[in-house]
Structure 1
Amino acid sequence: MNYASILILLFLAVTFIQSGYDKVSDWKGNVGWLKEHFAQTLLRNSVPLALFIILALELVAGIFCVVGSIQLLTNGERNYGFYGAVFACITLIFLLFGQRIAKDYDGARTIAIYFIPAVMAVYWLG
C-alpha cells in the first residue's frame, strides 16, 4: 500500500475542495477581489470566466483525488489518483500563471509549494 500517495491525494483533495467551496460560497466577493487584483493585467476583463475555469479544475482535481484515495485503499488501483494529481498540477499552473501576470510573487511562491507534492503524486502514481 502506498500510504504516501494516499496522504498526498487527501492533502490535494482538501486543498481543492475547500478552495472550490470558498469560491462557490462567496462568488461575488472573490470576483470583486480578483478584479482588483488583475486590474492592470490582460486578465482584467476575463475575471469571472477565469474564476469559473479555476473552480471547475479545482473541483475535478479534488473529486479525482478523493476517489483516487478510496481506490488506492480498496483495490490498489492508481488511475483516478493519477488523474487527480495531473488535474491538480494543471490547476496550479493556471494559478501560477495568474499570480505571475499580476506580479504577485509571494502568491506565486505559495503556489510553487503546493506544486511539489502534486508533482510527487503524478510521479508515484504514473
Structure 2
Amino acid sequence: MENITTNITEILILLFILITFLQSGIDKATDWKGNTGWLKEHFSGTMLAGIVPLMVGIIMIIEIITGILAIAAIFHIIAFNEPLFALYTCVLACITLLMLLFGQRVAKDYAGAFTLTGYFIVSIIGVYILS
C-alpha cells in the first residue's frame, strides 16, 4: 500500500496512458475497416495517402504495446517500487503521440493536432517525473 501512495502521481499518469492507448489500439483492431476508411479520406491528397493501412497497423500495434507496458509498469511500481517500465511507457506514449501529431499536421488537421497536446503534456510530465 505504501508503494501506491508514494507513487500515486506516476500510477495515475500510467492509468491515463493505459486507458487512452489500449482503448485506441483495440478500437483500431475491432473497427479496422471504419478506421482505415475514414483515414484514407483524411489523408487523401497528401504524401501519406497510399500507406494509410500500413500507418494504421503500425500505430495500432504501438498503442496496444504502450497499453500493455502501462499495465506492467503499474504492477512493477506497486509490487517492487520499480519505475523503469513506467519511464519506458511514458517515452513510448510520447513517441506515439508525435507520430500522430505528424499525421495530423500533414493532413492539415490543425484542430486534431491541437487535441493531441493535452495527451502529450500528461505523457511528458510522466517522463519528467520518472527521469
Count of paired positions: 126
TM-score by length of 2: 0.94
2:102 to 97, 100, 113: 97
> What's the CA shift string for 1:69-121, capped at 9, x where partnerless?
11111111011111111110000000000000001011101111100010011
Matched, 1:34 2:28: no
What aligned pairs does 1:22-101 form with structure 2 within 5 A after superposition? 22-101=27-106
1:121 to 110, 120, 126: 126
What's the counterpart of residue 5 of structure 1? 10
Query: What fraction of aligned residue pairs are identical, expressed as a percent?
Result: 50
Higher Cα Rg: structure 1 or 2? 2
What's the counterpart of residue 3 of structure 2? none
Cα deviation for residue 66 of structure 1 reads 1.3
Where does structure 2 lack aligned partners over 5 or more consecutive residues? 1-5
- Helix, strand or coil for the counterpart of 1:31? helix
What is the CA RMSD across the aligned residues, in angstroms?
A: 0.7
Where does structure 1 lack aligned partners over 5 or more consecutive residues? none
- Helix, strand or coil for the counterpart of 2:49? coil
Q: How far apart in 2 are the matches of 1:112 and 1:61? A: 18
